[in-house]
Amino acid sequence: MKRKDKIVLQNIEIEAVAAEGNALAHVDGKVLFVPQCIPGDIVDVRLTKKRSGFMEGIVVNMVKPSDLRVEPFCEHYGVCGGCKWQSLPYNLQLEYKQQQVVDQLTRIGHLELPEITPILGSQEIKYYRNKLEFTFSNRRWLLTGEDPEQVTGAERLGLGFHISGFFDKVLDIKQCHLQAEPSNEIRNFIKAYAIENNLTFFDLREQTGYLRNMIVRTASNGDVMLIVVFAYEDTQARTALLDAVKSKFPQISSLHYVINGKRNDSISDLDCIKYYGDDCIYDTMEDIKFRIGPKSFYQTNSKQAYRLYSVVRDFANLKGNEVLYDLYTGTGTIGLFLSSKAKKVVGIEYVKEAIDDAKINAENNGITNSFFYAGDMKDMLTGKFIEENGQPDIVVLDPPRAGIHADVAKVLLEAAPKRMVYVSCNPASQARDLAILSEKYRITAVRPVDMFPHTHHVENVVALELK
């Protein structure tokens, strides 16, 4: 729609929560999707997209807030792209997430479901993340009321999160409620130090500037890991900054840096250099200690991850004599968590560094019945692989959002393990995959798990048994 064609719809009552964190209403027989609203809100909406079957828009005026609304706890609410459901009571968030799972499994997969086990809510709904990444920007996002002509110099510098939909826009964050201290203290200290010492912030469009990103990882025992990403090497400036951080925050037990001269922010293919302390930090689940390196994948909500894996363990119903395949194993967390209940664990993961971590985790914990392999799942999981590693009795699947490849589904149907447990961060792709697997399997249990309070994201665990 051209700017001159912008239409404002008045007094629109929001009816329900929709996918991807949106809310919806109906206008003249069409569905209208609106972000950052909750059922019961009456709003004026400016259209941003108009199609034959639906419309999209943004709120320009809150006529009457819903009686369901609660006061958001974060000063950045409404601008920051995260925690969009802060205004919705947590019990209702859980209801909507469970309904989302049911809708997607039945409408997309057309699946026959047993009674759904109530969603497992997070015990902590603030400060629950163990990892956050922040971006430096020399041209931060300006807030409503700020005059671009009046905001100059250091006032334009930001260290925070990307604005949703804008690759080059970063919102300066003063306090984030996602990660416990010293996360905010470290970020604010580094920003202040950088400004005081004239260190340049990165320009995402021009690809210039010195400071690019910083990552804070925390462990349940209080250990802290910090990774600072620089655009180029400046030994004197880098050393001075890292020494200042090390002196200010003795709780940082693992301090690293990366030199990233690429056009993207990914550090997965770059050397992460230890500057001070340990190579890694550790997190513990029951009697298993997991190594977390600078580039390790680990569930970002540690306490809820333990409860998620406990659901997987219950659904797997291991007796001790089974061969368990843990597909998309990451750093082996689920497989190792279940290893004491299985005869043998076989894990496959695309990322080699993750498999290296899995092997180290197995060795560090004295687990000798677990074997891990790196490679593309559709290429690794073959009849020959199964012949060499043993027929799986039980398979655990925890794929990325896209779900499993059709070739993987085919091999699983041919292998026909007695039971499978499918863990998904995207119930829509899970529904599609389950429809394929339903050729030989029936669903015996379903339990959603909330890993990310105040967002629309939901994990879902499904137990399958051979018909």
Active site residues: 425
Q: Which tokens belong to 186?
A: 């470290």
As to burial, measured by CB atoms within 10 angstroms (0-12 exposed, 13-18 middle, 19+ buried), residue 35 is middle
Helix (H, G, I), strand (E, B) or coil at 321: coil
Question: What residues have CB less than 8 Å from 196, skipping those under 6 apart?
Answer: none
**Separation between Cα atoms, residue 444 and residue 198, nearest integer Å:** 61
Q: Would you say 404 and 377 are in contact if contact means Cβ atoms under 8 Å apart?
A: yes
Any idea which residue has 């009321």 for tokens?
145
CA angle, corner 379, sides to 375 and 380, nearest 5? 55
Contact 80, 411 (CB under 8 A): no
To 10 degrees, the CA torsion angle through 239, 240, 245, 250? 70
Exposure on the CB side of residue 220, measured as CA atoms within 13 A: 16
CA atoms of 362 and 14, how far apart (whole Å): 51
Cβ pair 328, 399 in contact under 8 A:
yes
Q: At what angle do helices 406-415 and 427-437 cross, to 10 degrees?
A: 40
Distance CA 51, CA 163 (A): 25
Cross-sheet strand order for the sheet of 16-17: 8-13, 42-50, 54-64, 30-35, 22-27, 16-17
The CB-side HSE value for 441 (13 A sphere, CA atoms) comes to: 28
Quote the CA–CA distance of 146 and 143 in Å, as a whole number: 6
Rounded to 10 degrees, the C-alpha dihedral 196/202/208/211 comes to 60
Q: Give which of 399, 308, 397 is closest to 121, Cα–Cα.
A: 308
DSSP class of 83: -
The dihedral region occupied by 453, where left means phi > 0, alpha psi between -120 and 50, and beta the remainder, is: beta
